[in-house]
Each structure stands twice: as C-alpha cells, then as structure tokens.
Amino acid sequence: MIDLLGQFDNIRFYLLGPYPKGDIGGLALNIILTILAISFSFIFGALLGYSRLSCRRYIKLPCMAYIEIVRATPLIMIIFWMYFFLPYLVGGHATIISSAVVSLSIYAAAYQAEIVRAGILAVPRGQLEAALSTGMSRYGAMRHIILPQAFRIMIPSFVSFFVSLFKDTATVFIIGVIELTQAGIIISQRDPDKMYAAYLSMAIGFWCICFTMSHLARRLEKRVGVFDLESIRPDACRDEFMLLPKQKKTGEGIEESTACAPEKPV
Amino acid sequence: MIKFIAANKWFKNSHVLKNINLEIAKGEVIVICGPSGAGKSTLLRTINKLEPIDDGEIIVDGMYISDPRTDLTALRAEIGMVFQHFNLYPHKTAIKNITLAPRKVRGLSRKKAEERALKLLEKVGLDHRQDSFPVQLSGGEQQRVAIARSLAMEPKIMLFDEPTSALDPELINEVLDVMTSLAREGMTMVVVTHEIGFAQKVADRVVFMNDGEIIEIGSPPDIFVNPQHERTKEFMSSVFHIPIFSESQEEE
Ligand SMILES: Nc1ncnc2c1ncn2[C@@H]1O[C@H](COP(=O)(O)OP(=O)(O)O)[C@@H](O)[C@H]1O
Ligand SMILES: [Mg+2]
C-alpha cells in the first residue's frame, strides 16, 4: 500500500508522460488517441456502414471486404503495418503518433460501420414508408426519421465500443508511443522492485476513465431513451426484463426462477 | 381522380396484381376487402408508388405514376396514407409528428404548421395530447394522430390500410368515427378494411379482391349480402359470419 502511494511521485508521468519537457503522453495521450480515432473512424465508419447497405454491388462489395478483413485482423497487426507502411504512403516522414492514430482509425472504422449499419436496419421499415408517404424525400426521411432513431438504437453498442477502443489504445505502446502503458513500463524499469505498483497504477488509470465513460453513457441512454417507455431501461435488473414477479428472498424461490429462465434474454 | 389501366405487378415470380382496371371518382369512398394475401395492401401502395407497378398505368389526379418525369414528392404530398401499425415517429411528440412534413415538404413556418396541427388534433379529438409521445398514447389515439399527420399535408386522397385491425375492439370506433366524418366532408378515400358496419355506412362501392384480381365491384349490399361470385360468397360467409346461402343449399 505504501509502495502504491509512492507512485504519487510519478503521477505526472502517468498522466502526462514526458510533457512539458517532451511530447504529451501518459493517460492524456490515451484519451487524445481515443478521441481522434473515434472521430475519424466515426465519419469513415458511418460512410462505410451506410454504403454497405447500398443495393449496388460495386459500392457494397468493397465496403464488405474492408469491414470483414479489418475485423478479422488483430489490432496489433494493423499497428505494425501502419508503422512500417505509413512513411512510404505519405512519402518519407510520419510520426509514431500519426501512425498510431491512423491504425486505430482504420481498425475502429470497421466496427463503427457495423454499429451504424445495424442501427439503421433496426429502425422498422414502416418508419421510412410513413415518411415517404407524406412526401418527404429519401434524404429527408433519412435525416429526420431514420438516423435520429438509429442513433438512439446505436448508443449502447457505440459506448461499449468507445470504452473498448480506449483500452485498445494501450496496444500502441508496442511502437514506442509513451501512453499510459509505456509510461508505466518506463517507471517500473526505473525501480524494478515496485513493478506491481506500477502495473496497478496503470490499471487504476484505465479503470477510472472507463468507469466514468460507462456511467455517463448510462445517463445519456436514459435521457434519449424516454421516447420508448416500453423498452427495457438500461438499469433494469434481470427479474424486471424477464417480467418475473418480485422474488422473495428465500433460496428456493430464487433457484426456481433461474431454473426456468432461458439462457439468454432478448 | 384515380384510374388504374391494366396495372400489373409481380414480386419475383408471383403475380400479385393481375390486370387491375379501376376508376375512382373525386369524393368517392372505396372499400377494398378480400382474403389475406389477395394484394389489397399492394394495390393501395401502388397508388402513391410505395410499390411501383411493372406494367400498365395508374393516373392519380392527372399524374402518370409510371412516368419517370412525375414528381414523386408532389404525387405523395397529395395522397395521405394511414397504416395498420400507425407508424408514428416514436422519437417525436404528437404535434411534431404532424408538423414535420408540412414544414419540410410544404415549407410552412413552425407557427403556421403548429396552428394547422392543433386544428387537426382538435378534429380527431386529441388537442389535449399534443405533447405526448406515441408510446404514451393508446392504439386508437395513435391511429388518430396518424390520420391527423396525413391530413396535415392537405391531401386530395386518403389511403387506409387496415387502420383498425391492430386495435382493441373498444378502440375501433373512435378511429372509424374520424374516418366517417372525413368521408362526409367529401374526401376521396380508398380503405382496406373488414369493418362491415363502416363499409355499409360510408362506402360508395366495395371492391372484392382475391389472388391479385378484382373479382367484383358493387355497392355494399351487392357485395356483402348479394355477392355474385362463388369466391366472394365463401369469403363473406367465413369472415363476416353472414349466413349467405348458396343456391344449392337453398334447394335442399
Ligand atoms: N415486399 C414483398 N416482396 C415479396 N412479396 C410480397 C411483398 N409484399 C407482398 N408480397 C406478396 O404479395 C401478395 C399480396 O400481398 P398484400 O398486398 O400484402 O396482400 P393483402 O394486403 O391483401 O393481405 C402476398 O402473396 C405477399 O406474400
Ligand atoms: Mg395487407
């Protein structure tokens, strides 16, 4: 415990890396990388996901290929490829941060595309028909009717992907980016006796941000979810969404309910 | 107002509309009935081109629907459509559901659109529910909002696809009442429904469809009480539980 408190001396390095003497790093860099990658990949992914729904094969197939290939590739491969190839692509000079951002964006776009596609498909067909039948254009129906609903449907998957991408930014330590993991490794190597304390500090850093994001997301979900009173609230417990009667706290009753519960609730 | 000329439609290999010829005059109320899968919905949806036809022509208020130059927005803006499952926009309040199209398509100001929406909500008896979201409304109320939403575009024609078949029995009448008063005001209406009382009261003609074909057309008593075709008789006696005796039975 005392040792863990000792890590406070290094807190600036955990949070900001070599900054202000050098480039910004540490936990701040993980956050920056996540935000940049999420933003780029959101635009790219939304386009991909939307085009993937096209009826035209020459639009649909390349998008499908991209999505399937990227999703079947470990992130670390993409990071290595971009680390070696990006300098060729841009003609010589590319910082490790930019190859990190590019590879994370490439990776995230494939997942975001699927989230967007699933969200759009989850909006009932009757919504589009209703909008078209009032004389709205396809574009207008998309913008005012389909996308706002798709967006609300997407929130839970989008948030869980956001959180997992944040954790995945740790992977870029492999090409020498001094984000939280790399910062922790550097500290632990300075003082190998306190290795465990360094790794514990990194974990706490990641946990704090992830927890905060999930918490904010639940609140957002509740707020935009008001239009659909029939759906299950994000904070519902199992008995509520399985429509089970309130359980008495006897062991027997609880066992009974789990016994007849299907494996996976919808 | 609406004229089908030898209209045909196929879904893949199934021929769902077979040589439809039908002329509907301005102000006329047409009820379409027939067994499930007969093509009633499809027929209705070809009128506003939610489903394109493959052969023949439909002329709606002078517009040829299979002419690529026909402005779809203009066509659809003149035709209101009410669906079996209401299809209200769940993320918008009742009044926003109604004002959306007039604002975006007709370019009305928010104030104008809201005035119009409130008048329509009053007409369907729901002016006190303007700020409710669809999930907070009963089925009958949702359907009445949906009717108001269609009327907000001031259409010349209203299409109804089984507007009461998803409703609990006690909620059906509130919707039919709105439809009846609309018919009385002279709206041209094409209604797919099996509500025989409504048809008797307001329909000028009843169209019986089976297997993609129009089998017979006639006044409500002609079709419901005195059908000529065997298939119509069968359907009426099975669906409406109206004891119609075929000639052979009477002889016995
Ligand atoms: N989108 C579609 N794709 C393929 N077949 C369809 C489609 N919509 C309707 N059909 C078929 O067309 C026929 C007529 O359907 P429909 O017009 O919905 O009948 P009704 O409304 O009279 O019950 C049915 O056999 C149905 O299976
Ligand atoms: Mg139907």
Q: Is the CB of A126 inside 8 Å of chain B's CB atoms?
A: yes
What are the extents of the domains in chain A? Answer: 2-256
Is residue A262 predicted with pLDDT exceeding 50?
no
Segments in chain B below pLDDT 50 = 246-252
Chain B residues 169-208 within an 8 A CB cutoff of chain A: none
Is the CB of B88 less than 8 angstroms away from the CB of A129? no
C-alpha to C-alpha distance for A46 and A43, rounded to whole angstroms? 5
pTM, entire model:
0.82
Of A137, A145, A229, the CB nearest to B89: A145
pLDDT-based confidence at A17, cuts 50/70/90? confident
C-alpha to C-alpha distance for B45 and B24, rounded to whole angstroms? 15
Residue nearest (by alpha carbon) to ligand 1 atom 10? B11
- The alpha helices in B48-168, defined as continuous H runs, are 72-77, 94-104, 110-123, 139-151
Residues β-bridged to residue B5 = B57
Contact A184, A203 (CB under 8 A): no
Contact A210, A217 (CB under 8 A): no
Interface pTM, i.e. ipTM? 0.91
Chain A contact probe: residue of B91, B135, B138 with most A CBs at under 10 A: B91
Residue nearest (by alpha carbon) to ligand 1 atom 16? B39
Strand B63-64, strand B79-82: pairing:
unpaired
- Looking up tokens 């920056």 gives A32
Is the CB of A133 less than 8 angstroms away from the CB of B105? no
pLDDT-based confidence at A104, cuts 50/70/90? very high
Tokens of B243: 């004891």
Q: What is the pLDDT of residue B211?
A: 95
Chain B residues 147-166 within an 8 A CB cutoff of chain A: 149-150, 153
Helix axes A195-224, A26-52, angle to 10 degrees: 40
Is the CB of A149 less than 8 angstroms away from the CB of B77? no
Q: How far is the CA of B84 from the centre of ligand 2 (A)?
A: 8
What does each C-alpha distance from B183 to A233, B29, B68 come to in angstroms?
42, 7, 32
Q: Is the CB of B135 inside 8 Å of chain A's CB atoms?
A: yes
Q: What is the pLDDT of residue A234?
A: 58
Q: What is the per-residue pLDDT across A198-235, written as a single tens digit (0 to 9) for each? A: 899 999 999 999 999 988 888 887 777 655 545 555 56
**A154: chain B residues, CB-CB within 8 Å:** none
Residue of chain B nearest A148, judged by CA positions: B91
Residues in Cβ contact with A65 at an 8 Å cutoff, skipping those fewer than 6 apart? none
Contact A45, A51 (CB under 8 A): no
For ligand 1, mutation pick of B41, B43, B193, B207 (most atoms within 8 Å of CB): B41
What does each C-alpha distance from B148 to A156, B44, B66, B121 come to in angstroms?
34, 19, 29, 6
What does each C-alpha distance from B99 to A178, B76, B87, B105 come to in angstroms?
54, 16, 15, 10
Is residue A263 predicted with pLDDT exceeding 50?
no
Q: What is the pLDDT of residue A261?
A: 40
Q: How many inter-chain contacts (A to B, CB under 8 Å) are there?
A: 73
Q: How far is the CA of B161 from the centre of ligand 2 (A)?
A: 7
Q: A2-256 adopts what CATH topology?
A: MetI-like fold (1.10.3720)
Contact B56, A113 (CB under 8 A): no
Query: What is the position in ligand 1's atom list of the atom closest to the CA of B162?
Result: 21
CA distance A41 to chain B (A): 27
Average confidence score pLDDT of chain B? 93
Is residue A250 predicted with pLDDT exceeding 60?
no
pLDDT-based confidence at A45, cuts 50/70/90? very high
Note if the bond before A20 is cis, omega within 30 degrees: yes
Of A131, A136, A227, the CB nearest to B133: A227
Is the CB of B50 less than 8 angstroms away from the CB of A135? no
Q: How far is the CA of B7 from the centre of ligand 1 (A)?
A: 16
**CA nearest A67: which of A120, A116, A122?**
A116
- Could you tell me if the CB of B36 is within 6 A of ligand 1? yes
Chain A contact probe: residue of B47, B50, B72, B76 with most A CBs at under 10 A: B76
Contact B55, B131 (CB under 8 A): no
Is residue A264 predicted with pLDDT exceeding 70?
no
What does each C-alpha distance from A30 to A171, A180, A181, A236, B246 come to in angstroms?
10, 7, 9, 32, 81
What does each C-alpha distance from A254 to A140, A235, A247, B67, B161 come to in angstroms?
50, 20, 7, 66, 47
